[in-house]
Amino acid sequence: MELSEVFYTKFSGAYNEFKLEANGQAPFINKWREEGYQRLLLDGIPHKQLEDWKYSDLNKVLDPAFIQLLKKPTYTFRLEDIFRCDVPDLDTQSFTTLDGWYSDTENPLQVLPDGVIIGSFREAALKYPEIVEKYLGQATKTAEDGLSGMNAAFATDGMFIYIPENCVVEVPLQIIDIISAETDLLVNRRNLFVGGKNSVANVVVCDHSLTFQKSFTNSFTEVFTENGAVFNMTMIQNSSNNTSRNSSVFVSQKGRSTATINTISLHGGFIRNNIHVALEGEFAESNLHGLYLGDRNQHVDNFTIVNHKVPDCLSNQKYKGILDDQARGVFTGRVVVSRDAQRTNAFQANNNILLKDTAHVDSKPQLEIYADDVRCSHGATVGQLDTEALFYLRSRGINEKEARMMLMFSFAAEVVDKITVPALKLRITDMVEKRLRGELSRCNHCAINCC
């Protein structure tokens, strides 16, 4: 369905303005933007009549009146004054984007001592066009739609990470994405992460909001793992109820590489996470883990596609959710095993706890198997807290609230335990506990009011 009139008016004007600004960029970027824009015009914003968008109505959260910051704004506050991440012992190297723009103007792109290139996506396209051109759009091209088109057309900036061959990055790289503008905002952010051959890296992406303005963030991330690379990414979503987001992650994996994506949705008004994994090389391994905690009218929709294109790959998916009040959860997980992908192992599980009758979850595991020698399993459960376990705990003197808390926490722990960086696991454990206790999950010493 082509772009609606009201959005056409908005986007055509903005695109013409943005094109002028974008002229300074590499020609391949401009071409990519133009193709994206045409795709946006052709496909429009995904709507509820599309099977993949049945449960999440973008038209309810994406307001044509939202403003795009197509030129980098000047901020009056100093980031370091308000934001201090205290992931204990995590000793991360952290990098920040504000409203879709890389925040460090003086030093937009760094080469770390170990050879890692990290910083502004926009800058990387200028400084390292050979890398960016090689990868950009290669993973997303399998599932282009109006949203990916919008992202290509309007992506202001985002993060670029390049891990060279054989490089083992000791410290986790932390990316902090903040919504801070004092207007209702539409943000398009583009990330490109490349793990070179036999490299190892841990990336943490934290989404926060500084304001209570409404916003819609349309974030696209492409992850490429070359042969033998190990790439772990943990995304923590912790924003105000006025924020909405579409977060699309496309992972393309070469042989014997391992990519693990942990999605921890702690807070936010409307969250749609899409993860597309293409296993392109033999003996590649994909791990997708998700935890979503929703209450009030929060909406969290996890949508995954894992495509086994070649033999001997392994994929694991574990998504768990706890939903309270009128919160809505969705899990759609599609595993596709191509005809040639013999000896595939693919596992998928989605478990949900509904704390109230008014909470709701839709769980749709889907398997499409065209090969004959495969091991696949999938399962979905929706339930309440185990009343027998609850009674057992209470019969030992533990009060009801605490007993419920222990059960919820143990349910969530199965996902949190998948996080391999010990300090990060501790930090997330703490945040999950605070979240379940109804306390504000924010870090000490940090002025950011996440929720």
Partner 1 sequence: MLKIKDLRVSINNKEILKGISLNVNKGEVHAIMGPNGSGKSTLASVLAGRDIYEITAGTVEYNGKDLLDQAPDVRAKEGIFLGFQYPVEIPGVNMMTFMRTAVNEIRTHRGLEPLSAKAFLALSEERKTLVEIGSRFDGRSVNEGFSGGEKKRNEIYQMAMLEPTLAILDETDSGLDIDALKVVANGVNKLRKPENATIVITHYQRLLDFIIPDFVHVLYNGKIVKSGGKELALELEIRGYDWIKKEQGEN
The residues that touch partner 1, with contacts defined as CB under 8 A, are 386-389, 391-400, 402-403, 406-407, 409-411, 413-414
Nearer to partner 1, 37 or 411 (CB): 411
CB 92 within 8 A of CB 85: yes
255: which DSSP letter?
T
171: which DSSP letter?
S
Query: What residue has token string 């392994």?
Result: 314
Between the two ends of the chain, the Cα-to-Cα distance in Å is: 35
Nearer to partner 1, 325 or 417 (CB): 417
Q: Shortest distance, CB of residue 390 to partner 1, whole angstroms? A: 9
Q: Shortest distance, CB of residue 412 to partner 1, whole angstroms? A: 8
Q: Shortest distance, CB of residue 6 to partner 1, whole angstroms? A: 48
For residues 318 and 438, give the distance between their C-alpha atoms in angstroms, rounded to a whole number.
24
Both tokens of 391, joined, read: 């009674």
**C-alpha gyration radius of the chain:** 21
Q: Shortest distance, CB of residue 386 to partner 1, whole angstroms? A: 8
For residues 334 and 324, give the distance between their C-alpha atoms in angstroms, rounded to a whole number.
26
CB 312 within 8 A of CB 286: no
For residues 147 and 76, give the distance between their C-alpha atoms in angstroms, rounded to a whole number.
31
For residues 301 and 45, give the distance between their C-alpha atoms in angstroms, rounded to a whole number.
17
Q: Shortest distance, CB of residue 87 to partner 1, whole angstroms? A: 23
Nearer to partner 1, 8 or 409 (CB): 409
Nearer to partner 1, 288 or 416 (CB): 416
Nearer to partner 1, 27 or 379 (CB): 379
Ramachandran angles phi, psi of 54, nearest 5°: -55, -40
Inter-CA distances, 388 with 67, 134, 189, 404, Å: 52, 56, 47, 12
Nearer to partner 1, 279 or 431 (CB): 431
Nearer to partner 1, 79 or 413 (CB): 413
Q: Shortest distance, CB of residue 366 to partner 1, whole angstroms? A: 27
Nearer to partner 1, 212 or 392 (CB): 392
Q: Shortest distance, CB of residue 400 to partner 1, whole angstroms? A: 7
Q: Shortest distance, CB of residue 431 to partner 1, whole angstroms? A: 17
Q: Which residues have a Cβ under 8 Å from the Cβ of 158 and sit 6 or more positions away?
A: 97, 100, 102, 120, 121, 122, 189, 190, 191, 192, 219, 221
Question: Helices H, strands E: what count in the chain?
Answer: 10, 20
Q: Which amino acid is at 179?
A: I
